[in-house]
Amino acid sequence: MSPLAEEIRECRLCAERFAATATAHAPRPVVWFRPGARILIAGQAPGARVHASGRPFTDPSGDRLRDWLGIGEDVFYDLSRVAVVPMAFCFPGYDARNADLPPPPVCRRTWHDRVMAELGEIPLTVLVGGHAHKYHLSARTPVTQTVRAWRDHAPRIFALPHPSWRNTAWLKKNPWFEAELLPVLRARVQEVLND
C-alpha cells in the first residue's frame, strides 16, 4: 500500500459528522487502489455492508457491477488490475428515509486530486452514479441523460447508473443500457485486461 493510501486509511476527518448519524459509526476508510491498475471504478461511497467488510462492493451492488463488467471476484479484487476509488472512502450513514447519505464533499476535496495524480493514466474508467459523473466528467445533466450519452466518452470512460437495487426499475425503463452499452463495456474490459 502506498504512503498516500496509508494516509487515507488513517483519516478521521468525518468522525464528528458520522457520530451524529443514526448509526453513530466511526470512520473506516475503504482504500483500494494501487498505481498501475488498468481499470478504475469511480464509485459513490461504501454502504453499511462494505463498512463492515472493509472491502469494496462486497454487497448486491457489487454482484451487479461485476456482472455489468463481465468479470468475477478474482479479477475485481486484483489490485494490480482494478482500483476502486469512491467519492468518499467511508460509509456516510443513513438519511431519514433509510437511504445512504451522500458522500461528504470534504473527502473529495481532501483526497481525490492526489489519488488521481498517483494513479495516472488509466485506460478504462467506469463511473458509478451521479456523484462520480460530476467529478470525472463535470456532468451537469441528470444521470439518465449522462448515461444515455455514453458514446461521447467511450471507450476510455463509461458513465453508469449506480448498480443498487434501488435502480432496478430504472434498468427496466431503459433497456438500451443492457442491450447496447453493456456489451461494448464488457468488450472494453477484456481489451484493457488483455492489453
Q: How far apart are CA 23 and CA 31, in angstroms?
A: 21
Binding of ligand SF4 at residue 11 (CB under 6 A)? yes
Which of 46, 47, 56, 104: binder of ligand SF4 (CB under 6 A)? 104
Member of 39, 42, 88, 160 binding ligand SF4 (CB under 6 A)? 88
Cell numbers 443492457 correspond to: 178
How many other β-carbons are positioned within 10 Å of the β-carbon of residue 100?
A: 18
Q: In the complex, what is the shortest distance from the CB of residue 35 to ligand SF4, in angstroms, rounded to a whole number?
A: 19
Q: Is 85 in the site for ligand SF4 (CB under 6 A)?
A: no
**Nine-digit cell string for 178:** 443492457
Q: What are the strands, taking DSSP E only, across 43-165?
A: 82-84, 124-128, 157-160
- CB of 53: closest distance to ligand SF4 in angstroms? 16
Stretch that binds ligand SF4, among 93-101, 106-114, 136-144, 164-172 (CB under 6 A): 106-114
C-alpha dihedral, 78 to 29 to 120 to 41, nearest 10°: 60
Between CA 130 and CA 143 the distance in angstroms is 6
Instruction: Indicate whether 46 belongs to the interface with ligand SF4 (CB under 6 A).
Output: no
In this chain, which stretch among 72-80, 84-92, 136-144, 181-189 interacts with ligand SF4, using CB under 6 A? 84-92
Nearest to 117 by CA among 33, 32, 191: 33
Binding-site size for ligand SF4 (CB under 6 A) equals: 14
Q: Give the shortest CB-32-to-ligand SF4 separation in angstroms.
A: 12
Return the residue of 27, 56, 93, 163 that touches ligand SF4, per CB under 6 A: 27
Which residues within the stretch 107-146 sit at the binding site for ligand SF4 (CB under 6 A)? 107, 110
d(C-alpha 35, C-alpha 48), whole Å: 27
Q: Is the dihedral of CA 114, 105, 132, 27 positive or negative?
A: positive
84 touching ligand SF4, by CB under 6 A = no
**Could you give the CA distance from residue 130 to residue 12 in angstroms, rounded to a whole number?**
25
Q: In the bound complex, what is the minimum distance in angstroms from residue 33's beta carbon to ligand SF4?
A: 13
Binding interface with ligand SF4 (CB under 6 A): 8, 11-14, 27, 29, 88-90, 104, 106-107, 110
